[in-house]
Amino acid sequence: MIPKELKCHQAKIAMDQLGPDPAAWPKYRQQLKRWAVIHPDQDKRWRMPPKLVISVAAKNAGINLGNRRFGPDEAVPWLRSCGFEILDLDNP
């Protein structure tokens, strides 16, 4: 479950922090699977895994996700509600 304390602007901050190079991301999150969130800045437009963005945003905000598990079924709608563009890589 995505914590209610997490704010939309924190996701953009996480995307800026992560940067465009998947090699700099945690090894278990370097692959895009079905979904990709697009950086909102027109000059960046990086594709990133939605769960990675939310996890880093929560950590930066001091929110401990602990054992709270969330999947794309929560991450994708939450990011869309924040105005982020989401790509379905299975249905381009």
pTM of the full structure: 0.90
The answer, yes or no, to whether residue 68 has pLDDT greater than 70, is no
Q: Which residues of 10-29 are buried (b: 16+ CB within 10 A; e: fewer)?
A: bbbebbeebeeebeebeeeb
In which residue are the tokens 């990011």 written? Answer: 79
Q: What is the pLDDT of residue 82?
A: 96
The full set of domain ranges for the chain reads: 8-88
Backbone torsions φ then ψ of 13, nearest 5 degrees: -60, -45
Our CA dihedral for 88, 90, 91, 92, rounded to 10 degrees, sits at 70
Q: Which residues pair with 82 in a beta bridge?
A: none
pLDDT, tens digit (0-9, with 9 covering 90-100), for 2-43: 889 999 999 999 999 999 999 999 887 778 889 999 999 999
